[in-house]
Amino acid sequence: MENRDQLIMTAKAMVADNKGLVAIDESIATLNKRFEAAGIPQTEGYRRAYREVLITTPGIGEYINGAILFDETVHQQTLSGIPFLDALNKAGVIPGIKLDEGVEDLPLSPGEKVTKGLDDLVERLAAYSKLGLRFAKWRAVIQIDGQLPTAACIASNAHALARYAAACQQAGIVPVVEPEVIMDGAHRIERCAEVTEWALRELFQQLHLLNVELRGLILKPNMVLPGKDVKEKASADEVATLTVECLLNAVPAAVAGIAFLSGGQDPESASANLNAMNLKYKTELPWPVTYSFSRALHQPALEIWAGKDENVKAAQASFLELGKANKAAGKGEFIS
Ligand code: 13P
């Protein structure tokens, strides 16, 4: 592979120094939903303004190695006319792009989803690469419910993730592969562990089959958690132990890094769980274990901002504070 060294260097830089990624790649529909809940008008102007709040936070490069963007944001700029991509590069933050196009029903598998976006991937990758995007994300959704997930869902999503990862690497772009076992439901934590390990094993089999270079790839998994309808929360120790066991069993040591999604956990829990993994197991882990959070890094900032200029500084302070907390969690030094 002609881009191998470059891919490996970029992937390493994305998880270096106990820092991680921020996902600011909510689709227009998802961001509008969050705006609606926070009483913010759902317009292109407000979406741009919110992205500016985050991207121009002074000092983000201290805590964030890379930012995952949505297509709309890639083409936007600050109010003073600096393209967002330039602002990120100047802050020392590598820009990346969400490449999946959401999910659709998986045929013959009622209640299950498969991710869309493979058809024109090669063309889109070439265009984003030209614009200077250096990594990309693709999210698969796996739901636990009674007999679900089916083997059909696990296999279809693993294959799509591997097809996407191979296409990314061919274009010189580092793939972030995200097989998300979602928290919805009332299942026990052990069931989440079982399904997460199954999905990861299948994923790495497909990545191998499609010749993906693991040293130039970042895995973005869910933490192993009980379903969100279960009343009793798992302790950070239990989450850390089961998550690490699952990853050690299923993820090859060659992978450049692991950057978790937060999946709807509150910021405090997401940081505490990440911290417990690094505090207890860092020396046993073959990869850096860090964050690629959206909600657990900037949902509080969105609520503080609330669409008002006078709140920008306070919103940025909240974003920076959560960045700092999670960098500390990357070292096992987070104090709740
Ligand atoms: P959350 O951290 O809010 O789960 O979002 C991460 C993400 O990028 C989902 O694709």
CA 316–ligand 1 middle distance (angstroms): 19
Nearest CA to ligand 1 atom 4: 263
Bridge partners (DSSP) listed for residue 293? 22
CB distance 270 to ligand 1 below 6 Å: no
**Cβ neighbours of residue 3 closer than 8 Å, sequence gap 6 or more:** 169, 170, 172, 216
Which of 292, 297, 298, 299 for mutating ligand 1's site (highest number of atoms within 8 Å of CB)? 292
| Per-residue confidence (pLDDT) for residue 276, from 0 to 100 | 98
CA 110–ligand 1 middle distance (angstroms): 24
Residues of the chain with pLDDT below 50 are none
Beta strands in the chain (DSSP E): 20-24, 64-69, 94-98, 103-105, 113-115, 135-142, 174-181, 218-219, 257-260, 289-293
Residue 134 identity? R
| Per-residue confidence (pLDDT) for residue 124, from 0 to 100 | 98
CB distance 178 to ligand 1 below 6 Å: yes
Looking at the CA of residue 293, tell me the nearest atom of ligand 1: 2
DSSP states of 258-311:
EEE--TT--HHHHHHHHHHHHHHHGGG-SS-EEEEESHHHHHHHHHHHTT-GGG
CB distance 98 to ligand 1 below 6 Å: no
CB distance 153 to ligand 1 below 6 Å: no
Q: Quickly count: other Cβ atoms within 10 Å of residue 167's Cβ.
A: 21
Which of 293, 302, 326 for mutating ligand 1's site (highest number of atoms within 8 Å of CB)? 293
Bridge partners (DSSP) listed for residue 289? 258
pLDDT digits (tens, 9 = 90+) for 86-97: 999 999 999 999
Length of the chain: 336
Quote ipTM for the complex: 0.96
**Mutual orientation of helices 44-55 and 295-305 as an angle, nearest 10°?**
120
Phi and psi at residue 113, to the nearest 5°: -125, 155
Phi and psi at residue 224, to the nearest 5°: -85, 115
| Per-residue confidence (pLDDT) for residue 336, from 0 to 100 | 85
CB distance 96 to ligand 1 below 6 Å: no
pLDDT digits (tens, 9 = 90+) for 28-68: 999 999 999 999 999 999 999 999 999 999 999 999 999 99
Q: Which residues are catalytic?
A: 178, 220
Q: What is the 3-state secondary structure (H, E, C) of 41-58?
A: CCCHHHHHHHHHHHHCCC
| Tokens encoding 53 | 């709040």
Which of 22, 228, 262 for mutating ligand 1's site (highest number of atoms within 8 Å of CB)? 262
CA 314–ligand 1 middle distance (angstroms): 23
CA 295–ligand 1 middle distance (angstroms): 7
CA 23–ligand 1 middle distance (angstroms): 6
CA 120–ligand 1 middle distance (angstroms): 24
